[in-house]
Structure 1
Amino acid sequence: MTTIPQLSSEPSTIPPYPTEPPTAGHNSPSGSQWWRAGGIQDDVPPPPNQPPTAGMHGYIPSPFGAANPTDDASMQAAAAAFWAPLAAQFEQAADLMAHRMGEQIGQLGHQVHQLWTETEAQRSAREQVEYEDLIARQRTERDAAFAAAGETREQRTERHRIEQILDPGPIQRTDLIGVIDMLGARITETADERAARLEAEQELDKKRRRARQDAELAAAGETPEQRTKRHRQQQLADKREAAAKARRARRQAARVAGPSDRTRRFRRWCVLTAISATGGYLTGLIAFVSASGPLAGLVLAAVGLVLDLWLRDHGRLRVSEVARPWPITLLILARVPVASGLVVAAGLGPLFSGISLY
C-alpha cells in the first residue's frame, strides 16, 4: 500500500535580510558577495563576460560598430554602409526603366504622328512592305530548317506552291482604323460587288482547304500518280459545279420578269399538266384511281410530285423553263402521276369521259 508523504509543518529556513548595502566596504563588484534579485549569496563570483543589464530587461541593443548605443554618428554610418549596395541597384534600375520608357514614348509619338500625317496609299504601301519582309524572312528560315532536315528540291517546290495558296494576301489592319475602313467598304459596295466578293472568298477558301489536304495526304504517303488522279477528279467536279451554278444563274435571271412573263409561265404549266393528265387517262390510270376516291388521288399526286421535284433538280428548274422537244417529252411522262392524282382529287374524271379522245 502506497504511503503518502506528509509535508513538514515547520517553516523553511530563510536567510536574514541584510542590514547594510551589499556594496558596503567594497570598491568593485568582484567581491565575495554578488547582489541578485533574490538576496545576497555568499561566495558566488560574478559570471564572466556578463553583458551590461538594465534592471530585469536583459541585453541593451546596440548597432554594429557602435561603441556606445547612443552614438548617432556610428548608427548613421552603419545604416549608410548597409543601404549603399541596394541604393546603387535601385538607381541603376530606375535609370534603365526611365530609358526604356523614353524609347517607348518616342516610338508611340512617332506612330501617332505617322498615322495622322500619312495618306491611305502611303499606309497601305508601308504595311505591304513590312508584310512582304516578314514573309520573306519566315520563308528563308523555313527553307533552311527543311533543308537541314533533308528536304529535296521537288518537295520544296510543292511546299512553296501550297504556301502560296495558303497565303492570306495583303495584310489587313485589326485596329480601329482597319475596322473603319472595312465598314466603309461594306457600306459602299453594291449587291453585285458583294456577290463577287463572297464568291472570291469561297473560291479562296476552297483552294486553301485543298492545299491543306494535299499537305496532309503527302505526309501520309500519297504518291504523285494518286495526287494527279485526285486533282483530275476535283477538276471534273469543279466543272460540273460551275455548269450547275451557271444554269441556276440563268434561271434566276429568267425569274426576274414582269407580270406578262409570269402569266405566260402559268399558261405553259397548265398546258403541260393537261397533256400529262390526258396521258394518264389514256393509260387508264385516272379510271383505276377514281375507284378508290379523292384521297387516293391526293396520295398519287404526292408521290408523283416527289419524283417530279427530284427530276427537276429539287424544284430549282421550273416546269415552264423546260425547253427543247426531248426534255419536254420526259417532263410530260414524269408528271403523269401528278396530273392524274390532281384530276382524281378535283373530281374531273367525268370530264375526260365526256371527251372523245379515240
Structure 2
Amino acid sequence: MTVPPPPPQPPTVGMPGSDPEPVAEWWRKDGPRIPAPVHPEPPVHTPVPVSAGGPATPASMEETAAAFWAPVGRILAEQVPAMAAQIGQQVTQLMTETEAQRSAREQVAYEARIAAERAERDALFAAAGESDAQRAERHRVEDVLTTGHRRDDLVGMVDLLASRINEAPEERAARLETERELDKQRRRAREDAELAAAGETPEQRTKRHRQQRLADKREAATKARRQRRRAARTASPSDRVLRFRRWCVLTAISAVGGYATGLVQITTPGGPMVGALLALFGWGLDTHLRDRGRLRVSEVRGARPLVLLVLVRIPVASGLAVACGLAPLLAATGHQLHIY
C-alpha cells in the first residue's frame, strides 16, 4: 500500500486562532507518522513424526531403470510393428514392381507434393487478398515455368505443330503407345495409393499386381494377333483372290456337311426366308466364335481348327444354300457321290 507524502502545511493553517509560524515548523519536522508496512507471519511448520519402521528405503537401481524405460518400451512396442510392416511393404514393392510402375508411382507422389505446395501457396495468397483472376494467372505462369510442361500459348502451339508435322507414322504410333502405357501406370499408382489408404495388405496388393500382369500379357497377345491380321488384310489383290477361294471351298464343305446331316432338307420347305434366317443365326454364332469377326475364315490354319470351323459354319452354309436355291445342286452332287 503506497502512502502519499505529507502536505507542506498542516490542515489548520489559515484557520481562526491558529499560529502559523511555529506550527509550520513542527509540522515539517514532526509531521504525521507513516505506518510501518505489515508483513504476514511466516507459516508455522508442524513436524510430522516418523513412523516406527524408520525412514523409507530408497528404490534400487534396477527399479529406477525399469520405471524410466517402461514408457520407452511401451512406445517401442506400439511403433516397431508398424515400422517393420511399412519397411517390409516398401522392400516388397521395390522388389516386385517394374521400372514403369516405379516411375509412375514416383510421378504420382511428385504430383501430390506439388499439389500440396500449391494449395499452401494459395492459402497464403488468399489471406493476403489475392483475387480469383490473379490466382488463375499465377497458376498459368507456374504451369509454363514447370519443367516438362507444354506451353499453352502461341509458341507452344507452333512447337507442337512442328513436332507433329515432322513425326513419322511409326514414331506417332510409338508415342501414342508410350502415352497410353504411362497413363495406365499412373492410374494404377493412384489406385495403389487409394487402396493402401483404405487398408489393403501387402499380400492383397501383390495378388492384384499379379492379376494385372496376367491381364497385360493377354492384352499384348491379343493386340499382336490383331496387328498380324490387319497386316494380312493389306496384302496384294492376288492374296485377296486366294482368300476368297479358300472361303468358298470351306463354305462348300460346310454346306455338304449340312446336307449330309439333313439340315438342308429340313429347311428347304420353308423357302428362302427361312434359309436367310438360318444363315443369319449361324453367321452370328460363327462371328462370335471367331473373336467377333476379327479372325477371318481364310486365316484359320491347322487341322483341328479347320474341322471345328467347318462344323460351326454348317448352319451358315446350309442357310445360304437354301436361300440361294442351291439345295437341288447339293442333292444332285450327293446322288452322284452315292452312285460312285
Q: TM-score, normalised by structure 2?
A: 0.58
Aligned-pair CA distance for 1:156: 7.0
Higher relative contact order (Cα pairs below 8 Å, separated by 6+ residues) = 2
**1:277-356 alignment, distance < 5 Å:** 277-355=255-333, 356=336
**Unaligned stretches of 5+ in structure 1?**
1-149
1:183 to 155, 161, 168: 161
Residue 10 of structure 1 corresponds to none
Show CA shifts across 1:327-355 (max 9, x none): 11111111000000000000110011112
Contact preservation (8 Å) 2:105, 2:186: no
Change (3 A) 1:278 1:318: same
Show CA shifts across 1:245-288 (max 9, x none): 00001111111111111111100000000000000000000000
Percent pairwise identity: 61
3-state secondary structure, aligned to 1:316: coil
Cα distance in 1 for partners of 2:319, 2:233 equals 28
Residue 3 of structure 2 corresponds to none
Amino acid at match of 2:271: G
Cα distance in 2 for partners of 1:330, 1:248 equals 21
Contact preservation (8 Å) 2:89, 2:202: no
Amino acid at match of 2:337: L
Residue 115 of structure 1 corresponds to none
Amino acid at match of 1:184: A
**1:56-205 alignment, distance < 5 Å:** 152-153=86-87, 161=102, 163-166=105-108, 170-205=148-183
**Unaligned stretches of 5+ in structure 2?**
1-81, 95-100, 112-146
Aligned-pair CA distance for 1:154: 5.6
Residue 108 of structure 1 corresponds to none
Cα distance in 2 for partners of 1:341, 1:173 equals 61
Aligned-pair CA distance for 1:173: 3.0
Aligned-pair CA distance for 1:198: 1.0
Q: Which has the larger displacement, 339-348 or 190-199?
A: 190-199
Residue 357 of structure 1 corresponds to 337
Residue 214 of structure 2 corresponds to 236
Change (3 A) 1:196 1:277: same
Amino acid at match of 2:332: G
Cα distance in 2 for partners of 1:190, 1:341 equals 48
Cα distance in 2 for partners of 1:165, 1:300 equals 56
Two-structure CA RMSD over aligned residues (Å):
2.3
Change (3 A) 1:352 1:163: closer
Change (3 A) 1:165 1:328: farther
Residue 187 of structure 2 corresponds to 209
Residue 256 of structure 1 corresponds to 234
| Paired positions, count | 209
Change (3 A) 1:156 1:241: closer
Q: Report which of the two structures shows the higher radius of gyration computed on alpha carbons.
A: 1
Runs of 4+ in 1 over 6 A off after TM superposition: 155-160
Contact preservation (8 Å) 2:287, 2:293: yes
Contact preservation (8 Å) 1:165, 1:207: no
Cα distance in 2 for partners of 1:217, 1:345 equals 58
Amino acid at match of 1:263: V
Contact preservation (8 Å) 2:321, 2:327: yes
Q: TM-score, normalised by structure 1?
A: 0.55
Aligned-pair CA distance for 1:165: 4.4
3-state secondary structure, aligned to 2:270: coil
2:247 to 264, 269, 277: 269
Aligned-pair CA distance for 1:155: 6.6
Residue 68 of structure 2 corresponds to none
1:246 to 218, 224, 241: 224
